[in-house]
Amino acid sequence: MQKFESFAQFYPYYLSEHQQPLCRVLHYCGSTLVLLILGWLVQSGLWQFVWLLPLAGYGFAWVGHFFVEHNKPATFQYPWYSLAADWVMYKDFLTGQLAHKLAQLPKN
């Protein structure tokens, strides 16, 4: 994996590792579930279940990488950039910006 000096350099790489729509859908499912669990934790005060957050978020994402994209999640080498990029990709999807950003990626 190449070396990234900034998030702006990393994000196009991150998107290139999520070419398959099903992989992205799995990420969105995990992110949505994280938000729902977080809301439930705040509402219920049952913070002993906070471990469900990474299980939901990373569980769905890693299924997408290992079984759909057949690549290694960027989390292993760039954990903070990867976490931030997941939420930026989710925002880009929800705001309709993702298709344009994917189209801007260099073709292999």
pLDDT in tens, 33-74: 999 999 999 999 999 999 999 999 999 999 999 999 999 999
User: What pLDDT digit, counting tens, does each position of 6-38 carry?
Assistant: 999 999 999 999 999 999 999 999 999 999 999
How far is CA 83 from its chain centroid? 6
Q: Above pLDDT 90, what percent of the chain?
A: 94
Q: What percent of the chain has pLDDT over 70?
A: 98
* Alpha helices (H) along the chain: 7-16, 21-44, 52-63, 79-94, 98-103
Q: Is 27 helix (H, G, I), strand (E, B) or coil?
A: helix
Identify residue 21 by its one-letter amino acid code.
P
Token pair 């809301």 is found at: 39
Q: What CA–CA distance (Å, rounded) separates 69 from 101?
A: 19
Domain ranges of the chain: 21-103
Distance of CA 51 to CAs 16, 59, 78, Å? 29, 12, 21
